[in-house]
Amino acid sequence: MSHQNPVDTWVSLLVKTYKTFQPKKTTLNDIWTNCGLVVRRNKEKPLLPVKLSERKRPYGRDLLLHIPVGLSDLDFYRRYEKLCWAFNAEIELEPVNGKLLIRIMDQQLQKVIPFDLPQPPTMALPVPVGYSRAGLEWLDLAAAPHFLVAGTPGSGKSNLLHCLCAALYGIADIRIIDLKRLEFSYLRQHGVTVAATEKEAARVLLDLNHEMDRRLAVLEAAGVVKVQDYDGNMPFIVCIIDELAELQDDTCHSLLNRLLRLARACGISIVAATQRPSTAIISGDSRAQFAARLCYRVADEVNSRMVLGETCSRAAYLPTVPGRAILRWDKTREVQTMFLPVAEARKRLYERCPSPPEAPGIA
Ligand SMILES: Nc1ncnc2c1ncn2[C@@H]1O[C@H](COP(=O)(O)OP(=O)(O)OP(=O)(O)O)[C@@H](O)[C@H]1O
Ligand SMILES: [Mg+2]
């Protein structure tokens, strides 16, 4: 008579169980139920969203849904972040003829994308921000003149500002306030005003205020409400501020706030980067003037919402990849900003402009 060792019996039982074990696949209905997207009425069968079609896309797939009576698009928007977790992807919601399209973007973003400047789209002042899963995202600084960039140290803010300078050089009049003093000095040799002290910063901001007043008077006299409608010569001016927190002088703050409130119509943009988006650095009212925002990884959900708005905590959960951020403008998308090391930025400028004009000193 053969006696099987009890350990062997257990092992064979475990192997058998393991072989037959199939992890339950999450169905769409599980997702709707887990996210609370179900209508329950007394005794009736619960109603769930119905998938009408599914299409493969380069970024993942598109799902077209019929929404049952008792639910609306708004219920999906309110559960946006839950749905992202449930699909394990970045998603976009778009109402289409009474139905709802869910764009499920589950492709990985590249970790390093070297700077390149493809043919810009037809916008008045296009700047490339970075690659989302849907392709290169451009921002029109004429339509969204003020652009706020936030993120923890080393997340990629200054690098993005170098990319913007490379894209704007020769197209707009660039003025830089770099109170960290080192990074942007190479632009001085190319005719760009770079303020490196608070005194110089105050001068730059004062000049911009004067220019704004002059332009507002010209536009008023011409009877137009924005620079794009003006026939004469009024080039775009972009003032880039690297590290807003370093700008502590009250005069600078009031000059900057005035520009944020009034400059949008007259072709003057403010692009400001900061490690600390708190109200101590930039008041709620001034922050509201930034129509476009880019938030790299931040410490927590509060900081993410401070930059991207009440409903967006996503920047707290971004991977710790330099250059990875959430762009909020016409859409809210995860992007990888392009990489342009300073040496490369300098080289590109010399190639474009070998004997550049020296920047005028700041009086
Ligand atoms: N888009 C990018 N792709 C790949 N690497 C990047 C990217 N942006 C930045 N880096 C890397 O991260 C480093 C820090 O970037 P950067 O100086 O722009 O950060 P920062 O946000 O300005 O930091 P700080 O707040 O300290 O000024 C860079 O030296 C570079 O090595
Ligand atoms: Mg920096």
pLDDT at 18 over 80: no
The phi, psi pair for 82, rounded to 5°, reads -60, -40
pLDDT at 2: 55
Q: Give the whole-angstrom CA distance, residue 29 versus residue 65.
A: 12
Q: Give the whole-angstrom CA distance, residue 50 versus residue 59.
A: 22
Residue 8, both tokens? 């062997």
Q: What is the mean pLDDT of residues 257-270?
A: 95
What average pLDDT does the chain have? 91
pLDDT at 361: 65
Phi-psi region of 159 (alpha: psi -120 to 50; beta: other; left: phi over 0): alpha
Contact of 332 with 293, CB cutoff 8 Å: no
pLDDT at 171 over 70: yes
Closest to 161 (Cα-Cα) out of 177, 143, 144: 177
pLDDT at 324: 97
Ligand 1 mutation pick, 136, 158, 179, 275, max ligand atoms within 8 A of CB:
158
Q: Give the whole-angstrom CA distance, residue 109 versus residue 130.
A: 11
Which residue ranges form the domains of the chain, and what is each CATH number?
7-105 (3.30.980), 126-352 (3.40.50.300)
pLDDT at 310: 86
Q: Minimum-distance ligand to the CA of 322?
A: 1
Q: Give the whole-angstrom CA distance, residue 362 versus residue 207.
A: 10
pLDDT at 298: 95
Per the listing, tokens 């970790």 go with 111
Q: Give the whole-angstrom CA distance, residue 158 versus residue 247.
A: 16
Task: Give the pLDDT confidence of 197-222 residue by residue, as tens digits.
Answer: 999 999 999 999 999 999 999 999 99
| Single-letter residue type at 355 | S
Q: What is the mean pLDDT of residues 189-196?
A: 92
Contact of 175 with 200, CB cutoff 8 Å: no
130 CB near ligand 1 (under 6 Å): no
153 CB near ligand 1 (under 6 Å): yes
**pLDDT band, residue 180 (cuts 50/70/90):** confident
| Single-letter residue type at 358 | E
Q: Minimum-distance ligand to the CA of 342?
A: 1
Count CB neighbours of 216 within 10 A: 14
Q: What is the mean pLDDT of residues 344-355?
A: 85
pLDDT at 1 over 60: no
Q: Give the whole-angstrom CA distance, residue 178 versus residue 165.
A: 13
pLDDT at 3: 64
pLDDT at 47: 94
343 CB near ligand 1 (under 6 Å): no
| Single-letter residue type at 286 | S
pLDDT at 282: 86
Q: What is the mean pLDDT of residues 132-141?
A: 94
**pLDDT band, residue 73 (cuts 50/70/90):** very high
For residue 149, give every residue at least 6 positions away whose Cβ sits within 8 Å of its Cβ, in sequence order, or none. 157, 160, 161, 271, 272, 273, 274, 293, 294, 295, 296
CB-count exposure of residue 321 (10 Å: 0-12, 13-18, 19+): middle
pLDDT at 5 over 60: yes
Task: Give the pLDDT confidence of 99-136 residue by residue, as tens digits.
Answer: 999 999 998 899 999 999 999 999 999 999 999 998 99
Residue 309, both tokens? 């708005």
**pLDDT band, residue 294 (cuts 50/70/90):** very high
Chain mean position to CA 309? 12
158 CB near ligand 1 (under 6 Å): yes
Contact of 184 with 349, CB cutoff 8 Å: no
Q: What is the mean pLDDT of residues 241-246?
A: 94
pLDDT at 22: 67
Residue 340, both tokens? 């342009």
Contact of 133 with 107, CB cutoff 8 Å: yes
Count CB neighbours of 285 within 10 A: 11
114 CB near ligand 1 (under 6 Å): no
CA-atom Rg of the chain in angstroms = 26
Chain mean position to CA 231? 32
Q: How many alpha carbons lie under 13 Å from residue 32 in its C-beta half-sphere?
A: 19
**pLDDT band, residue 238 (cuts 50/70/90):** very high
